[in-house]
Amino acid sequence: MSFIENMVPLSIIICLAGGIVCSALKGESARRLSIAIIFANVIMNALVLFYTLYTGSEFVYVMGKFPAPWGNELRAGSLEGLIALFFAVIMLLSVVGGIRGQDDDIEKDRLNLYFVMINLMMSSLMALVYTNDLFTAYVFVEINTMTACALIMIRNNGHTLVAATKYMIMSLLGSGLLLIGISMLYTITGHLLMPNIKAQVSILMQMDEYAVPLTVVIGLMSIALAIKSALYPFHSWLPEAYGYATASSAAMLSSLISKSYIFLLIKIFYRVIGMDVMVGHKITNILFIFGIIGMIMGSVTAIRQTDIRHLIAYSSIAQIGYIYMGIGLGSTAGMVAAIFHIMSHGASKSMLFIAQRGLVEVSNGSKNFTDLKGSGIRNKLAGVAFTVGAFSMVGIPLLAGFTSKVYFAEAAITAVRSKMWIAMITLAVSTILNAIYFIRATISIYTPRNMDYRDEDYRPSRATGIALVFYIFLNFFLGVMSYPIAHTIEAGLRVFE
Amino acid sequence: MFGPNLFHNIYSVAAVILFSVGFTALMLHRNMIKKIIGFNIMDTAVYLFLASKGYIEGRKAPIIVDNVQRVEAYINPLPAGLVLTGIVVSVSVTALMLSITIRLYNRYHTLDIDEISLRARKDTPVKNKYIKKTARKTIEEVLKEEHL
């Protein structure tokens, strides 16, 4: 066994340990320790990714040395390595980018608690990506939910408290459905490890036994994770949570937490039930329809917003719709597009949240577009970053969002005829709607008004600047160098089954 | 509609009915405490489901006494382990929800989630040092007033 294989459990355990240590530290040192731990995670996950690419195969890490049907396992292929590396990078950038926001929004004596939650969330994200055991996945889903709730309400005001409550209620509905789904699956297959469940499911399919319970299980688990990742009709908690949480938290919520649930769903599709069984049960069609509705409705609602935070939040609903549309196409090409969009949306949306904070700082603290006019001139880097993020979401070439839309379109062309037409038309309509509100927002921040808001003492935060430069680079990188990434995703999906 | 297994699986049926009762309460009730009770009913229903599936009549927990090593003598201990894990999770979630409810009650003096949302919309502006000074109380001041 290679030394690098140890990186997988280490990346989870180091964050758990970091969370415990942070609770005993002062705020500033807790932040330094957390940034160091997340940076270590970036390096470790990069090693895992290059190791899996180099050997061209997956590996299974057996926890506690109990063999397969009894023990708990972690599994890493190139897809898991890529997603884990991406999550760690976005985590690092959103923590560093939001340093000033954390100082302003969080009371000083509670700052270390924020980083306890950051560390716990990091460990649960890594565990969700790497785990090979369905019940472990459930436990870490719950940890993810609780830390997300704490990340929302660490900013102490009424709005975040209500947002956290609503988030918690919706998430608990999802968790309950997921738990009973997993329990039912366990009772009909007798296993909790993903490959063993899949073997049993294919036997059940051949013998045509337990057809109804299997359909129920597939429905329960898909709907559960759709609720938790805010697919369109279940999005009611999202605007408030993204709108009032501190900038780092909002960036993490949109780019990491909801994405980790989608990745778990993809894992269930491929590794637990099997893609052919999923498509055979027509659950992909349902996700496809909801994704399509979400793409349109999220954008339509976003057009009406006058608050920059809410605009970005409603745009997230539309983008989640894109991802579910890709999954719903039911083909490998659609799945590659969906996973690529997880990454491009993660890179753009968290950048928008961090940049938005910089714009609000120079606009008298107001999030309203009338006050935000001219903020792109007053804070240049944040303005450029916001523009890049907005253009990426609209789908301007060279940027991440454009490439994922190309992949979606390619996947739609090869899909079934009825789905092809719906997907292509909705992509076009949704792109126009995206352009309406994002281009309008960009024009608005560059309209030279409100120049009396200019404060000579104001200096943009240096940490935010560094993070934004990396974000811009990441967006261009995903847009220009998309081929090797898509190739890695495809290769990862091939060994996923 | 009802197969012959309905009475054989009577506990599972009861569990699913309880689950839907809890799910509906969590989703539709306006009172926070009733929501939390609903959540607990929902999770407990899942434990009933697992426990009923894990138990086979006439068999014992897999602890070897009197050197009986036949598989048929014992039940699978794993569902019980899952129930224990689930209980730990649901207890911590319940504690978190109750603490949120206390904070909501301290702030808005009601447990009705719709009423709370309405009052939150009229809440004082969000604290931000870039806003020109507005009259906003810190949480300590609010708490002090409430206790007086």
- Which chain A residues are Cβ-neighbours of B119 within 8 angstroms? 158
Q: Compute the distance between CA of residue A341 and CA of residue A321 in angstroms, rounded to an integer.
A: 11
Whole-number average pLDDT of chain A: 92
Burial string for A408-447 (b: 16+ CB within 10 Å, else e) reads: beebbeebeeebbebbeebbeebbebbbebbeebbebbee
Q: Residue A169 and residue B19: Cβ atoms within 8 Å?
A: no
Say if residue B11's pLDDT is above 60.
Answer: yes
How high is the ipTM of this complex? 0.90
pLDDT band, residue B54 (cuts 50/70/90): confident
Q: Which of these, A58, A116, A63, lies nearest to A82 by C-alpha position?
A: A58
Taking only the tens place, the pLDDT of each residue in B15-28 is 999 999 999 999 99
| Contact yes or no for B126/A244 (Cβ under 8 A) | yes
pLDDT score at B141: 64
Q: Residue A162 and residue B42: Cβ atoms within 8 Å?
A: no
- Measured between CA atoms, how close is A158 to chain B, in angstroms? 6
pLDDT score at B34: 95
Taking only the tens place, the pLDDT of each residue in A145-167 is 999 999 999 988 888 999 999 99
With left for phi above 0 and alpha for psi between -120 and 50, is residue B74 left, alpha or beta? beta
Taking only the tens place, the pLDDT of each residue in A300-358 is 999 999 899 999 999 999 999 999 999 999 899 999 999 999 999 999 999 999 999 99
Say if residue A69's pLDDT is above 70.
Answer: yes
Going B125 to B130 to B131 to B133, the CA torsion angle's sign is positive
Amino acid at A486: A
Half-sphere exposure of A222 (CA within 13 A, CB side): 25
**Other Cβ atoms within 10 Å of A217 Cβ, number:** 26
Q: Which among B82, B100, B128 has the least Cβ separation from residue A165?
A: B100
Give residue A92's Cα distance to chain centre: 14
Tokens of residue A495, six digits = 């060994």
pLDDT band, residue A124 (cuts 50/70/90): very high
More confident residue, A80 or B145: A80
pLDDT band, residue A459 (cuts 50/70/90): confident
Going A9 to A11 to A14 to A19, the CA torsion angle's sign is negative
Say if residue B77's pLDDT is above 90.
Answer: no
Q: What average pLDDT does range A96-103 have in this prediction?
A: 92
Q: Residue A74's beta-bridge partner residues?
A: A61, A131
Q: Which among B85, B126, B130 has the least Cβ separation from residue A364?
A: B130
pLDDT score at A415: 87
- Measured between CA atoms, how close is B77 to chain A, in angstroms? 12
- Measured between CA atoms, how close is B132 to chain A, in angstroms? 7
**Other Cβ atoms within 10 Å of A100 Cβ, number:** 18
**Other Cβ atoms within 10 Å of A62 Cβ, number:** 14
Please tell me if residue B92 touches chain A, with a CB cutoff of 8 Å: yes
Say if residue A453's pLDDT is above 80.
Answer: no
- Which chain A residues are Cβ-neighbours of B109 within 8 angstroms? none
The dotted CATH code for B10-147 is 1.10.287.3510
Using a 10 angstrom Cβ sphere, with 0-12 exposed, 13-18 middle and 19 or more buried, the burial of residue A9 is middle
Q: Compute the distance between CA of residue B111 and CA of residue B104 in angstroms, rounded to an integer.
A: 7
Please tell me if residue B49 touches chain A, with a CB cutoff of 8 Å: yes
Please report, rounded to a whole number, the percentage of residues in chain A having pLDDT higher than 70.
Answer: 100
- The nearest alpha carbon in chain B to A458 belongs to B130
Whole-number average pLDDT of chain B: 83
Q: What average pLDDT does range A19-24 have in this prediction?
A: 94
Q: Which among A142, A173, A186 has the least Cβ separation from residue B27?
A: A173
Spell out the residues 6+ positions from residue A86 whose beta carbon is closer than 8 angstroms to its own: A343, A346
Amino acid at A21: V
pLDDT score at B134: 41
Q: By mean pLDDT, which of A61-70, A426-435, A470-479 is the weakest?
A: A61-70
3-state secondary structure of A133: strand
Q: Which of these, A166, A158, A29, A157, lies nearest to A104 by C-alpha position?
A: A157
Say if residue B2's pLDDT is above 90.
Answer: no
Say if residue A417's pLDDT is above 90.
Answer: no
Q: Which among B23, B26, B93 has the least Cβ separation from residue A146?
A: B93
- Which chain B residues are Cβ-neighbours of A365 within 8 angstroms? 128-132
pLDDT score at B140: 63
Q: Which helix (H) or strand (E) holds A343?
A: helix A332-361
Residues in chain A: 497
Q: Residue A183's beta-bridge partner residues?
A: none
Taking only the tens place, the pLDDT of each residue in B89-141 is 999 999 999 999 999 999 999 999 999 988 888 875 554 444 444 444 556 66
Say if residue B1's pLDDT is above 60.
Answer: no
- Which chain A residues are Cβ-neighbours of B86 within 8 angstroms? 179
pLDDT band, residue A285 (cuts 50/70/90): very high
Q: Residue A368's beta-bridge partner residues?
A: A307
Q: What average pLDDT does range A450-467 have in this prediction?
A: 84
pLDDT score at B44: 95
pLDDT score at A448: 87
Q: Which helix (H) or strand (E) holds A209?
A: none
3-state secondary structure of A56: coil
